[in-house]
């Protein structure tokens, strides 16, 4: 009888105790920083420059080959969004093509860049080719 009483008491104690959790929600807003300067750059526009890049994607995840140097500081939005893990082969190829154009010509920037994007989709394999053309921009003075 004692064992039954102990089991009943233990069961009642287990049922009466429980876990509680509290969640305090705090409304938040995104933090956007903005930098403004009063600097003006004088850009000399020169001859036409060009750069090309290619990238191959297997199963929409794995990058096969391609370039390892990219232009930084510019967002290259491509028409091929939605790739897993944030991989956007069009943006990567645009960035690599821009890097090649600037590096090979000695430019500081590309004036009026135009991108020709070619995507061959074979279901499990994609081949992305990008060619950028524009004019050589050289910064002569910043005031």
* Domain residue limits at 110: 41-142
User: Does some domain include residue 26?
Assistant: no
- Say what the pTM is: 0.66
Number of domains in the chain: 1
Q: How far out from the chain centre does Cα 55 lie?
A: 15
Q: Is pLDDT at 140 greater than 50 in this prediction?
A: yes
Tell me, yes or no, whether 57 lies in a domain. yes
Residue 36 lies in a domain: no
DSSP assignment letter at 40? -
The CA distances from residue 109 to 48, 71, 120, in Å, are: 12, 10, 29
Residue 22 within any structural domain of the chain: no
Does a structural domain hold residue 7? no
Confidence of residue 34 (pLDDT cuts 50, 70, 90): confident
Average of per-residue pLDDT values in the chain: 81
Q: If you average pLDDT over residues 14-35, what whole number do you get? A: 65
CA 34 to CA 107: how far, in whole Å?
27
Task: Give the residue with greater pLDDT, 13 vs 91.
Answer: 91
pLDDT digits (tens, 9 = 90+) for 79-103: 444 444 556 778 888 889 999 999 9
How much is the pLDDT for 83? 47
Q: Which residue has the tokens 């060009």?
A: 50
Answer yes or no: is 76 within a domain.
yes
């Amino acid at each position: 009888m004692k064992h039954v009483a102990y089991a009943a008491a233990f069961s009642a104690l287990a049922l009466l105790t429980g876990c509680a959790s509290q969640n305090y929600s705090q409304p938040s807003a995104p933090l956007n920083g903005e930098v403004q300067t009063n600097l003006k750059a004088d850009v000399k526009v020169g001859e036409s420059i060009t750069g090309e890049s290619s990238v191959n994607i297997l199963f929409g995840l794995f990058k096969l080959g391609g370039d390892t140097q990219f232009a930084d500081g510019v967002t290259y939005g491509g028409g091929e969004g939605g790739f897993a893990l944030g991989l956007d082969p069009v943006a990567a190829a645009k960035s690599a093509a821009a890097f090649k154009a600037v590096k090979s010509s000695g430019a500081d920037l590309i004036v009026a860049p135009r991108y020709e994007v070619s995507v061959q989709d074979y279901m499990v394999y994609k081949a992305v080719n990008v060619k950028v053309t524009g004019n050589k921009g050289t910064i002569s003075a910043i005031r």
